[in-house]
């Protein structure tokens, strides 16, 4: 029997003292989890908001903690009987839900075109790798988990948004728990209404490090959480009088998007990082796992995510590798120059932004623009057929060169479109 260790207390700037189960502590103490220390939560935004250098590491601990708090509050409800194993699984999912993020979090998803890949799927791959590499099976069994069922349950908790998009209700094709336990799938990531502990943590944490106000009170909301039967499912619900607290939650989200996540300078810097990584891609070699012939496999920035041993080594640190390569490498010059420009504030210039009052069909853009527009649509999480908003950046930082770009790009947009849209821009560099 492997020793399970002790509960540990973490001092968190957002939640205060955070006491975690020994199995969670064990997971935190692995190289695969520690990797998150070097992945910034807000990508390029830290180059605009100087305090926003927090990482996926502390966010993940915060989500595990809040998942435990919500489970505990719900368990006061008679008849719910959430087992200690269920609580632990939900907390493990909270801890591991972002393991699959690449350098600069969401920026990595935009660097290389690969439609089927998501960081959630990589989180599950990395979780499996973490369990195997660190021989955590015994620790999990000793902590009361049923591996045959609970490993699937944890994976599904991490993937629940994707699964429920592909297999929407009324089907119930999840293996980890039966349909009457559906509320457990709403704690870490809530596909139904977006009210989940992942957001509660990053809203509070991002506001704290950005220096912005957050009037949403998740502790108060947790107190009124109940599970109610609705449409054959058991769903997490809140008291009606909490509606204003929830308005605050959605306002905080809106405000974070407007003021930080989509800040035009942060977006320009994000784009420069993406371009630098694309240039450097083939020229960075990352050692991965050993293949069947006993050879160490080598991966690049794009393919490292296919091998969890290589992916464990891929973090924001790549920036320094490009800027200060061990051996002079002419192929990295273009990427290095772009990253150096960020450090000397010689940035891409934003020519304009469109914030559509309604969704705008991509077909209304000329073909030469629509490819770039579709990519930008993905950047903002919109579908590839519609744009909710889009931005044009010039690679030039000088006003006169940027002006030339503005005229050039304006001519690519259909004239009738310019007159019908409230605002109109496209991403072209
Ligand atoms: Zn998260």
Give DSSP secondary structure letters for 363-425.
GGS-HHHHHHHHHHHHHTT--SSEEEEEEEEES--SHHHHHHHHHHHHTTS-HHHHHHSSS--
3-state secondary structure of 345: coil
pLDDT on residue 321: 93
Q: Which residues of 136-163 are buried (b: 16+ CB within 10 A; e: fewer)?
A: beebbeebebeeeebbebbbbbbbbbbb
**What does the alpha-carbon distance between residue 236 and residue 111 come to, in Å, rounded to a whole number?**
36
Structure tokens at 359: 């969704």
Q: Give 248 Cα–ligand 1 centroid separation in angstroms.
A: 20
| Pair type for strands 349-361 and 386-394 | antiparallel
**What does the alpha-carbon distance between residue 9 and residue 197 come to, in Å, rounded to a whole number?**
20
Q: Give 207 Cα–ligand 1 centroid separation in angstroms.
A: 15
**What does the alpha-carbon distance between residue 316 and residue 96 come to, in Å, rounded to a whole number?**
19
DSSP 182: G
Structure tokens at 138: 């015994």
pLDDT on residue 428: 35
3-state secondary structure of 19: strand
Structure tokens at 311: 């992916």
Structure tokens at 192: 């139904």
Structure tokens at 178: 């039966």
**Dihedral (CA of 247, 14, 122, 131) sign:** negative
pLDDT on residue 326: 79
Among candidate residues 267, 276, 414, 263, the one with its CA nearest the CA of residue 332: 276
Q: Give 97 Cα–ligand 1 centroid separation in angstroms.
A: 6
Q: Which residues contact 385 (CB under 8 A, 6 or more apart)?
A: 361, 362, 363
Helix orientation angle between 147-166 and 119-133, rounded to the nearest 10 degrees: 170
Among candidate residues 355, 186, 347, the one with its CA nearest the CA of residue 268: 347
DSSP 49: S
pLDDT on residue 242: 95
Q: Per-residue pLDDT tens, the chain, 429 aa: give them.
A: 445 568 999 999 999 999 999 999 999 999 999 999 999 999 999 999 999 999 999 999 999 999 999 999 999 999 999 999 999 999 999 999 999 999 999 999 888 877 788 999 999 999 999 999 999 999 999 999 999 999 999 999 999 888 877 767 777 888 899 989 999 999 999 988 999 999 999 999 999 999 999 999 999 999 999 999 987 789 999 999 999 999 999 999 999 998 999 898 998 899 899 999 999 999 999 999 999 999 999 999 999 999 999 999 999 999 999 999 877 788 899 999 999 999 999 988 776 665 554 455 555 554 444 445 444 444 443 444 444 456 666 666 666 665 665 555 554 444 454 444 433 333 333
**What does the alpha-carbon distance between residue 427 and residue 372 come to, in Å, rounded to a whole number?**
6
With contact defined as beta carbons under 8 Å apart, do 64 and 92 qualify? yes
Q: Give 200 Cα–ligand 1 centroid separation in angstroms.
A: 10
Strand runs labelled E in 239-314: 286-290, 296-299
Q: Give 347 Cα–ligand 1 centroid separation in angstroms.
A: 29
Catalytic entry in 101, 119, 129, 275? 119
With contact defined as beta carbons under 8 Å apart, do 106 and 39 qualify? no
With contact defined as beta carbons under 8 Å apart, do 341 and 351 qualify? no
Say which residue the tokens 């009361």 belong to: 144
pLDDT on residue 377: 41
Q: How far apart are the first and last CA of the chain?
A: 58
**What does the alpha-carbon distance between residue 301 and residue 289 come to, in Å, rounded to a whole number?**
15
pTM of the model: 0.86
Q: Give 410 Cα–ligand 1 centroid separation in angstroms.
A: 38
Q: Give 318 Cα–ligand 1 centroid separation in angstroms.
A: 22
pLDDT on residue 230: 82
Q: Give 180 Cα–ligand 1 centroid separation in angstroms.
A: 26
pLDDT on residue 160: 87
Q: Give 277 Cα–ligand 1 centroid separation in angstroms.
A: 23
| Pair type for strands 349-361 and 226-230 | unpaired
pLDDT on residue 355: 55
Q: Give 20 Cα–ligand 1 centroid separation in angstroms.
A: 18
Is 119 an active-site residue? yes
* Domains defined for the chain, CATH in brackets: 8-261 (1.10.3210.10), 279-343 (no CATH), 349-420 (no CATH)
pLDDT on residue 367: 47
Q: In the chain, what are the helix, strand and coil shares in percent, each to the nearest 5? A: 55, 15, 35
**Dihedral (CA of 101, 102, 107, 113) sign:** negative
With contact defined as beta carbons under 8 Å apart, do 361 and 373 qualify? no
Cβ-based neighbour number of residue 228 at 10 Å: 12
Q: Give 162 Cα–ligand 1 centroid separation in angstroms.
A: 15
Q: Give 57 Cα–ligand 1 centroid separation in angstroms.
A: 10
């Amino acid at each position: 029997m492997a020793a399970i260790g002790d509960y540990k207390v973490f001092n968190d700037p957002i939640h205060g003292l955070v006491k975690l189960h020994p199995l969670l502590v064990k997971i935190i103490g692995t190289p695969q989890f520690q990797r998150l220390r070097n992945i910034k939560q807000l990508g390029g935004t830290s180059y605009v908001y100087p305090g926003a250098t927090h990482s996926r590491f502390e966010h993940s601990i915060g989500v595990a903690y809040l998942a435990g708090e919500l489970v505990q509050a719900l368990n006061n409800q008679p008849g719910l009987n959430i087992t200690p194993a269920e609580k632990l699984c939900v907390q493990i999912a909270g801890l591991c839900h972002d393991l699959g993020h690449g350098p600069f979090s969401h920026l990595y998803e935009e660097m290389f075109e690969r439609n089927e890949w998501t960081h959630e799927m990589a989180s599950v791959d990395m979780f499996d790798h973490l369990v195997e590499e660190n021989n955590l099976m015994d620790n999990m069994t000793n902590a009361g988990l049923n591996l045959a069922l609970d490993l699937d349950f944890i994976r599904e908790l991490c993937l629940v948004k994707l699964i429920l998009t592909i297999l929407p209700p009324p089907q119930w094709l999840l293996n980890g728990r039966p349909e009457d336990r559906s509320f457990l799938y709403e704690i870490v990531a809530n596909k139904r209404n977006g009210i989940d502990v992942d957001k509660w943590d990053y809203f509070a944490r991002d506001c704290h490090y950005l220096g912005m106000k957050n009037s949403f009170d998740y502790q108060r909301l947790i107190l009124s959480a109940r599970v109610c039967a609705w449409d054959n499912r058991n769903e997490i619900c809140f008291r009606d009088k909490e509606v204003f607290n929830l308005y605050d939650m959605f306002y905080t989200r809106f405000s974070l998007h407007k003021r930080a996540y989509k800040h035009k300078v942060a977006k320009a810097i994000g784009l420069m990082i993406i371009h630098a990584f694309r240039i450097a891609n083939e020229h960075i070699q990352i050692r991965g796992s050993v293949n069947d012939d006993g050879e160490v496999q080598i991966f690049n920035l794009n393919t490292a995510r296919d091998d969890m041993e290589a992916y464990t080594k891929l973090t924001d640190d790549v920036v320094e590798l490009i800027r200060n390569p061990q051996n002079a490498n002419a192929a990295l010059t273009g990427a290095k120059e772009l990253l150096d420009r960020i450090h000397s504030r010689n940035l891409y210039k934003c020519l304009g932004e469109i914030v559509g009052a309604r969704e705008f069909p991509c077909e209304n853009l000329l073909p030469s623009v629509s490819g770039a527009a579709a990519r930008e649509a993905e950047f903002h999480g919109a579908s590839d057929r519609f744009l909710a908003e889009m931005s044009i950046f010039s690679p030039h930082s000088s006003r006169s060169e940027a002006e030339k770009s503005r005229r050039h790009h304006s001519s690519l947009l259909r004239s009738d479109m310019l007159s019908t849209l409230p605002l109109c821009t496209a991403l072209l560099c």
